[in-house]
Structure 1
Amino acid sequence: IIIALLALLASYLTDRAANRPVIGDSWTTARRDSAQLLADPASIKDSALVAVLAAKTYGWRGHFTVHTWLVYKRSGETHYTRYDVIGWRNSDL
């Protein structure tokens, strides 16, 4: 247990030293626009694409979990469609 607590403390201090937010701003204010991880959908209009992406979750949860989402584009389409769930303990699921 002591080793786990020390590892957690070291991880927290590393995040603070790198000036990454650990506690503070809410995930509700995070940007939701594209990070440009995928090709421009218009440039691959004739191709279909399915991508599963993941990123660290916000705050202390990011040490243990990732947020995943699915992006797809049918052949001939010029836009992506994204599916993901945002929020903790959402009773509407």
Structure 2
Amino acid sequence: MAIKTRGLSKDGCREMTAEEFKRWLKKFDSDRDGKISREELQDAVRFTGGWFSTWKHRRAVNDADADGNGFIDDVEMNNLLEFAQRTLGMKIVAF
């Protein structure tokens, strides 16, 4: 379940499109409910080799979770994309 990226940008960030990011993240939806929970998000980031502290995964969900239900659904996925760019060293590009 590696992150398939278009490579690294000049600043060392992983590059991928928004759709590639969403497809990759949905692979971690272990209960297949169509939403990403805190635990599933933590699993996704740990899979990339990053250490994702309890504080950081809560912050990611809280930043992305517009309705406050503790999950990130398709509508809120863009909030998570912004978090990934700011915090996880990813660059979302248009192709």
**What range describes the TM-score normalised by the shorter chain of this pair?**
under 0.3
Higher-Rg member (1/2): 1
Taking structure 1 as the reference length, what is the TM-score of the superposition? 0.28
Identify, as 1 or 2, the structure richer in strand. 1
Higher RCO, 1 or 2 (CA under 8 Å, sep at least 6)?
Answer: 2
Taking structure 2 as the reference length, what is the TM-score of the superposition? 0.27
